[in-house]
Amino acid sequence: MMRSVIRGAMAVAVALSLSAHAAEPKHGGTLTYTFQPEPPALSTIATTAVPVAIASTKIFESLLEYTGPDLQPKPGLALSWTVSPDQKVFTFKLRPGVKWQDGQPFTSADVKFSIEKIIKPLHARGKIYFGHLASVETPDPLTVIFTLDKPGPFFLKAFQPTEAPMFPEHLLASTDLTKFRQSDFLQHPVGTGPFKLKEWKKGSYITLERNPDYWKPGHPYLDQIVMRVIPDDNARVVALENGTVDLAPMNTIPGSSLALLQQDKKLVVSHDGAEALGPVAGLLVNLEHKPLGDLRVRQAISLALDRKKIAGIIFFGQAAPATNPIIAANPVYYDRSLKPYPFDPAKAKALLDQAGYPVKGDGHRFALDYAGLPYGSTWERLAEYVKLALGNVGIEVRLQNQDMGSWLKRVYSDWDYDLASTFLHDYADPSIVMEQEFASSAIQKGGTFNNAMSYRNPHLDEILAKASVETDTEQRRKLYFEAEQILHQEQPEIFLVDMFYTNVWNKRVHGLITNGISMYSNWDSVWKE
């Protein structure tokens, strides 16, 4: 799950070659990686969850890439682009000779169709990225002109493979796009990327094969990428140790096993360069359900949770206490004056008493349904800890366990939860996470990773609206600091820890880049000894 791929101005993000030594790339071979859970689809239109993002970005591309060490836009499907001085007109020149994986040419008509018909209405962040889009013009097959009705200081960041993947108009023009998230196309996709779907055996593996008509000469190097579905934590560790899999990206391996794997001389264990992508883990709070609409109750829940324990024990040191939706690694927009809520069960009990929820005869004040995130043992441990910690202040927690599809439906479609564990990224720009999660305009059932808390704050809405079009960095910083302070006070989401993404790979793998985009790059330059 995800808040997308990069954080603008992330000074800490560095490019790190996974090569242990300089060597000439070679063609051929299969890279096998593992992740949990299995992606429900092969496009971020369905959901921006991490396993989907990793797999889909090998198939689908966008106009720009953000794979360099400076995390600045690089040519992708667009060769070049210009931005008007008022940041309202963005003109892209497309790369000639690009073909869809079925052999048809990629043109500006595909870009216009993708943005207007799919990305803007259906992507989790489409209405934010493209909310000020006034028109899309295609004067010729290789030119696209986007005109905004307001300045777009983060508009270029939209054109990443996870955020604005391009789709083939010729295959989808007659499709009922209102049902696109459930369409067969997302199970059998056609993109422009270096790899295309070969086979998907549900519950077992996904195999991608080399696209022989890929536009980048001599790429990709690999013949195949295989994603193996391995639900058991220990089995994933063993698969790395015995070489069955080559790569376990983005916290696929439980923190409890990292020390052991660090001793394995054929493996590398590192989160270097991925700090900028690390998400904020927390608890969504359904404000539509009593008693969670009471600020005192939310603050009590926050005070009842020991963030140092969560970071150190549950996440095995691969996290740090959080204060708000912006990760502390952000050097521009993170308000360092804010401090994590202290662990203070006594104060939590006092607030609950004040709110009118005394302990009853059964030892509980009230009960809450908790939708645990189905991402493996770390999240199971977090759910058990939350149950224990809240139980200590008199709140009964009823754990609900489900697969990824059911979790998404329960939380984002049905709002059938009281608390739900989640982790989300702050994307390319703070406006994205702020508007996606906390703006009242993002309150809607359906879709994924929107304001499923039903949080409404007109003053916050006003601040976010101003910040989204402010081109002066210092003024934007002040506005987002104010927004962070509001969220820290009101706790519509209980912000727990900043997560550190850890990648584990076999030293025979070369060419991967771990920076702010981490494992979402297209792997066209990856090769194996």
* pLDDT score, position 177: 92
Distances in Å between the Cα of 370 and the Cα atoms of 131, 315, 377 are 33, 19, 16
Decide if pLDDT at 418 tops 50.
yes
Whether residues 166 and 302 share a domain: the answer is no
Give 329-348 pLDDT, tens digit per residue. Answer: 777 889 999 999 999 999 99
Asked if residue 313 is part of any domain, the answer here is yes
Same domain, 48 and 171: yes
Answer yes or no: is 74 within a domain: yes
- Residues 171 and 306 occupy one common structural domain: no
**Is there a contact between 90 and 146 (Cβ–Cβ < 8 Å)?**
yes
Of the pLDDT bands very low, low, confident and very high (cuts 50, 70, 90), residue 426 is low
183 and 291 together in one domain: no
Q: How far apart are CA 481 and CA 488, in angstroms?
A: 10
pLDDT value of residue 12: 32
Q: Are residues 286 and 412 in the same domain?
A: yes
Q: Specify the pLDDT at position 58.
A: 97
Beta-sheet pairing, 366-371 with 419-424: parallel
pLDDT score at 360: 95
Query: What are the CA-CA distances from residue 61 to residues 55, 162, 303, 486 (Å)?
Result: 12, 8, 43, 37
Bridge partner list, 514: none
Contacts of 188 by beta carbon, 8 Å cutoff, 6+ apart: 197
Mean pLDDT of the chain, nearest integer: 89
Q: Is the pLDDT of residue 21 over 50?
A: no
493 found inside a domain? yes
| The predicted structure's pLDDT at residue 59 | 98
- pLDDT for res 79: 98
Model pLDDT, residue 167: 98
Helix (H) and strand (E) counts in the chain: 15, 21
The token duo for 462 is 């006003």
> Domain range holding 368?
279-499
- Which residues are registered as beta bridge partners of 270? 503
Asked whether residue 25 is assigned to any structural domain, the reply reads no
Among residues of the chain, what percentage have pLDDT more than 90?
68
Last residue of a domain, one of 163, 188, 213: 188
For residue range 370-395, list pLDDT tens digits in order. 999 988 888 999 999 999 999 999 99
Residue-wise pLDDT tens digits, 164-219: 999 999 999 999 998 998 899 999 999 999 999 999 999 999 999 999 999 999 99
**Do residues 295 and 442 both lie within one domain?**
yes
Q: Is residue 291 in a domain?
A: yes
Find the length of the chain: 529
Task: Supply angle C-alpha 233, 305, 293, rounded to 5.
Answer: 110
Confidence class for position 271, pLDDT limits 50, 70, 90: confident
Distance CA(151)–CA(84), nearest Å, equals 10
In a domain, 353, yes or no: yes
Where does a domain end: 159, 188, 217?
188
Last residue of a domain, one of 188, 220, 241: 188
Whether 19 shows a pLDDT value over 60: the answer reads: no
Q: Residue 514 is encoded by which pair of tokens? A: 């771990």
Q: What is the CATH number of the domain that holds 116?
A: 3.90.76.10
pLDDT grade for 7, boundaries at 50, 70 and 90: very low
Contacts of 184 (CB under 8 A, 6+ apart): none
Please give the Cα distance from 239 to 33 (Å, whole number): 10
Find the radius of gyration of the CA atoms of the chain: 23
Q: What single-letter amino acid sits at 338?
A: L
Is the pLDDT at 5 greater than 50? The verdict is: no
- The pLDDT, as a whole number, for residue 471 is 85
Q: Give the confidence band of 49 by pLDDT, cuts at 50, 70, 90.
A: confident
Q: Which residue has the higher pLDDT, 513 or 167?
A: 167
Strands laid side by side in the 224-229 sheet:
195-201, 205-210, 224-229, 30-35, 247-248, 503-506, 267-270
Residue 70 has pLDDT above 70, yes or no: no
Structurally, how many domains does the chain consist of? 2
Q: Are residues 183 and 284 in the same domain?
A: no
Q: Are residues 182 and 283 in the same domain?
A: no
Within-domain flag for 337: yes
**Domain presence at residue 227:** no
Is the predicted pLDDT of residue 275 greater than 70, yes or no?
A: no
Which position has the token pair 């969220």? Answer: 487
Q: Give the domain CATH number at 368.
A: 3.10.105.10
- Crossing angle of the two packed helices 458-469 and 473-490, in degrees rounded to 10: 160
Q: Are 322 and 360 in contact (CB under 8 A)?
A: no
Across the range 43-58, mean pLDDT stands at 91
Q: What integer pLDDT is reported at residue 1 of this predicted model? A: 42
CB 188 within 8 A of CB 213: no
